[in-house]
Amino acid sequence: MAENLLNFDAEQLTAWFAQQGEKPFRARQVLRWIYKNGESDFDAMSDLAQSLRSKLKETACIVAPKVMREELSEDGTRKWLLDVGTGNAVETVFIPETDRGTLCVSTQAGCALDCAFCSTGKQGFSRNLSTAEIIGQLWWANREIGRASDGNWPITNVVLMGMGEPLANFDNTVSALRLMLDDNAYGLSRRRVTVSTSGIVPAMDRLRDECPVALAVSLHAPNDALRDVLVPINRKYPLRELMAACLRYLERAPRDFVTFEYVMLEGVNDSLQHARELIALVRDVPCKFNLIPYNPIPQAPYRRSSAEAVRRFRDVLMEAGIVTTIRKTRGDDIAAACGQLAGQVQDKTRRTHRLMEVGT
Ligand code: SAH
Ligand code: SF4
């Protein structure tokens, strides 16, 4: 079967070329064609020998996931639903702003971590995306949107905040990250690529050692009792361990702070007492906060905190010296906002079934 070259980071592509008896600089040339030019046709790779082009046409291909549907929001946000086979779909969201274009990328079909307020989690886990399916989202979206007036690709920032937990699909995620950063591919700065994690502590340490990029941590609660309920992975890696992992990460991170994401749930985690508890929790961790207005999903009982409650919460954090922003909800009208990315993923874990069986 033809090898999909989007599955290889630079090192892996060089190794694959070596297996074919080709020199490393050939791999670099091909990488540049694929990512700098957005090329998928080997015949167009004009600086490769004709014999190599013919060989690649037989042994390799360059294929991103198939787009099933595109939606455009009134605010310019674009969402693509991508077919990743066997009844699975994932979503990619492009968020244009005046000074940058951000792509929100998915890393898994579904998610096994089952956070209480997240529609991806409510679907259960289906499977990990391949490197080609992860980097293919960026490759395809850049080509689809087209170059900006300065000739650069429109996507300047990438956040791994779509469907799935990136650190639970570690190897493929890291290969995709390396392509985002590689000078022969997209050449993005480490500061412009953000991994968001619910807090898988050992994988945070590996990311720090293998491919440090900007880090966002989905905190959502100021104490273990509440976080155990909202973000169940907390039962395995409680807050004390998570805070220590953040500090270790910062030793090698491209930014000198961690971004804590905090979804605002009315009457659940949004009181001023919660804010004060948070301040004590993160006292030793250089951080910023991003407060996310909850986007309601049908499978969860929560309500969005009022704008007033969110502002008061922010003010308390700010008075304690913590830079705090309130996330604008974007793409609401096309269900592209945080946590609303549902796709059409089958529940391979049959969680719904199991829960019914145990009567919860
Ligand atoms: N699995 C990773 C990244 C994907 S989720 C993580 O959890 O960090 C991206 C962000 O959206 C996370 O902070 C997540 O907690 C948040 N989120 C999930 N469901 C949401 C909802 N219904 N409303 C608002 N934010 C939500
Ligand atoms: Fe998974 Fe993140 Fe959703 Fe939690 S918030 S279920 S970790 S995708």
- As its CATH architecture, domain 3-61 has Orthogonal Bundle (1.10)
Residues of each domain in the chain carrying CATH 1.10.150.530: 3-61
DSSP secondary structure of 262-275: EEEBTTTT-SHHHH
Average pLDDT over residues 334-360: 43
pTM of the model: 0.93
Of the pLDDT bands very low, low, confident and very high (cuts 50, 70, 90), residue 360 is: very low
The closest of 337, 346, 349, 295 to 89, measured between CA atoms, is 346
Predicted confidence at residue 155, as pLDDT, reads: 98
The closest of 8, 48, 43 to 26, measured between CA atoms, is 48
Average pLDDT over residues 45-69: 96
Please give the distance, rounded to the nearest whole angstrom, from the Cα atom of residue 114 to the centre of ligand 2. 6
Q: Are 21 and 79 in contact (CB under 8 A)?
A: no
- Whether the pLDDT of residue 358 is over 50: the answer is no
Residues of each domain in the chain carrying CATH 3.20.20.70: 66-357
Within 6 A (CB) of ligand 2 lie 111, 113-115, 118, 120-121, 164-165, 198, 218
Within 6 A (CB) of ligand 1 lie 115, 117-118, 161, 165, 196-198, 218, 261, 263, 292, 294-295, 297, 338-339
Average pLDDT over residues 116-141: 96
Q: For residue 338, indicate whether it is catalytic.
A: yes
Q: For the ranges 264-278, 293-307, 345-359, which has the lowest average pLDDT?
A: 345-359
Over residues 317-335, the pLDDT tens digits come to 999 999 999 988 777 666 6
Most ligand 1 atoms within 8 A of CB, residue of 161, 193, 213, 303 to mutate: 161
Over residues 242-286, the pLDDT tens digits come to 999 999 999 999 999 999 999 999 999 999 999 999 999 999 999
- As its CATH architecture, domain 66-357 has Alpha-Beta Barrel (3.20)
Q: For residue 58, indicate whether it is catalytic.
A: no
